[in-house]
Amino acid sequence: MNKHIETLTGFKNGTKKIFRDCFYDLWDAWDELLSAFKKIGFVIFVFVVWLFSLALVCILPLATWLRLKWEREHEVAVEKAKREYMERITCLHNKRGDSDQHLTR
């Protein structure tokens, strides 16, 4: 009977030790998994910052060029509109090519 009790006690102590070892292995694996997720998150963060910087380097000069182009086009359109308006309100320009004598009669 003592042999059976010793076997059961040994089995109980062995299973506790195996459970503790498995638990610590699981805990270490969990820590490593969290560490891997942190590193993956850091890599993704660095990649996003790099993409943002690349976008700024590429998009800001393009946006500046487009803004300057649109401002030049706007200035040309304003000057053209001013000339057309001035031509309409003055009698110096006659679209038909006739003289303005018919207006004085």
Full pLDDT tens readout for the chain, 105 residues: 777 777 777 777 778 888 888 889 999 999 999 999 999 999 999 999 999 999 888 888 999 999 999 999 999 999 999 999 988 887 655 555 555 555 554
Q: How many CB atoms lie within 10 A of CB 2?
A: 6
What pLDDT score does 18 carry?
83
The set of residues, in sequence order, having a beta carbon less than 8 Å from that of 95 and lying 6+ positions away, is: none
Distance between CA atoms of residues 99 and 93, nearest Å = 10
Burial label, 5 (beta-carbon count in 10 A; 0-12, 13-18, 19+): exposed
Tell me the pTM.
0.47
For residue 75 the two structure tokens come to 């200035």
Q: pLDDT value at position 91? A: 63
pLDDT of 51 reads 94
pLDDT of the residue at 67: 95
Query: For the chain, first and last CA: distance in Å?
Result: 144
Q: Rounded distance, CA 57 to CA 64, Å?
A: 11
94 phi-psi bin (left φ>0, alpha ψ -120 to 50, beta other): beta
In angstroms, rounded to a whole number, what is the distance separating the alpha carbons of residues 70 and 77? 10
From the centroid of its chain, how far is CA 102?
A: 67
Residue 37: predicted pLDDT: 96
